Each structure stands twice: as C-alpha cells, then as structure tokens.
C-alpha cells in the first residue's frame, strides 16, 4: 500500500492522476481539487455521450426517412413493372390482332383475284399476253320477235 502523498496538485490532471490523487492524498484542499477535476471530466464525458446519443437519434431519424423513401421508390418500381407487364400483354394482343388482320386481308385479296381474274385454282401467267380472237360472229337480233317491226 502506498503512503499518503504530501505534494500539491497543480494544473489539469488526467483521469488516472485523479484516481491516484483520491487514493493517496490526504484529506483537504488537494483531495477536493482532485474530486472536482474528476467530476468536471465526468461531466465533459457525459456531455459527449449525450451529444453522441443526440446524433445517433438524428441518424436514426434520417435512416428511417431514407428507408421510407427507398420503400416508396421500390413500390413505384414494382407498380411500373406491373404496368410494363400489362402493356406487354397489350402489345402482344395488338400484334396478334395485326397479324390476324393481315391474314384476313390476304385471304380477301386471294378471293378477289380469283373472282376478278377468274383464275380459280390455276395460277395466272402474267407474262403471256391474252390471245386475240380473229373472227367474231355477229349477233343476230332479228330472231327476237319483239324487236322486229315495232
């Protein structure tokens, strides 16, 4: 065990020196000074802890705000993704309708070509010009009794 220290405290001392002073100084002015400096350091540490708690609380609040904004963005992205899937379905339906319409138009064109050009099942030969008829017989309208002598 240490003996009592008769030296006086001068200036600011560290936490370890405060502990040593309290343990080894005689009661009196130096003991009171050591205890006072200890409490002052403790109050300073307590103030820093309080500031850290306040900053931690502020950071938690900011984190909550950011998390809320992040979740809102994710929600909007999910909504947009669902809308895109819906639009893709619409595009696919419109593409199918477009292809069906083209097929229907092509079928009508084929029917029209058959009706107009009379090709039927035969393929037309567009490179060969049509044959001209050299002799045309006249239509006799005299055989119609109503036209005669009216």
Q: How far apart (Å, rounded) are the C-alpha atoms in residues 20 and 33?
A: 13
Give just the sign of the alpha carbon dihedral 84, 88, 91, 93.
negative
- pLDDT, residue 7, reads 65
* CB 55, CB 49: distance < 8 Å: no
Residue position matching structure tokens 């001392």:
13
Residue 8 pLDDT > 90:
no
**Structure-model confidence comparison of residues 113 and 139, the more confident one:** 113
pLDDT in tens, 19-54: 777 776 666 677 777 788 888 889 999 999 999 999
Domain limits, the chain: 15-117
pTM score above 0.85? no
- pLDDT, residue 66, reads 96
């Amino acid at each position: 065990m240490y003996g009592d220290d008769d030296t006086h405290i001068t200036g600011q001392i560290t936490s370890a020196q405060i502990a040593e002073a309290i343990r080894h100084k005689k009661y009196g002015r130096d003991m009171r000074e050591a205890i006072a400096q200890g409490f002052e350091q403790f109050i300073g540490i307590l103030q820093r802890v309080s500031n850290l708690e306040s900053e931690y609380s502020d950071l938690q609040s900011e984190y909550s705000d950011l998390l809320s904004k992040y979740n809102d963005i994710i929600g909007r992205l999910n909504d947009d993704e669902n809308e895109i899937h819906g639009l893709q379905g619409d595009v696919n339906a419109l593409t199918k309708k477009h292809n069906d319409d083209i097929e229907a138009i092509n079928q009508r064109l084929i029917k029209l070509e058959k009706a107009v050009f009379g090709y039927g099942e035969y393929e037309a030969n567009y490179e060969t010009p049509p044959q001209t008829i050299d002799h045309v017989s006249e239509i006799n309208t005299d055989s119609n009794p109503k036209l005669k002598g009216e």
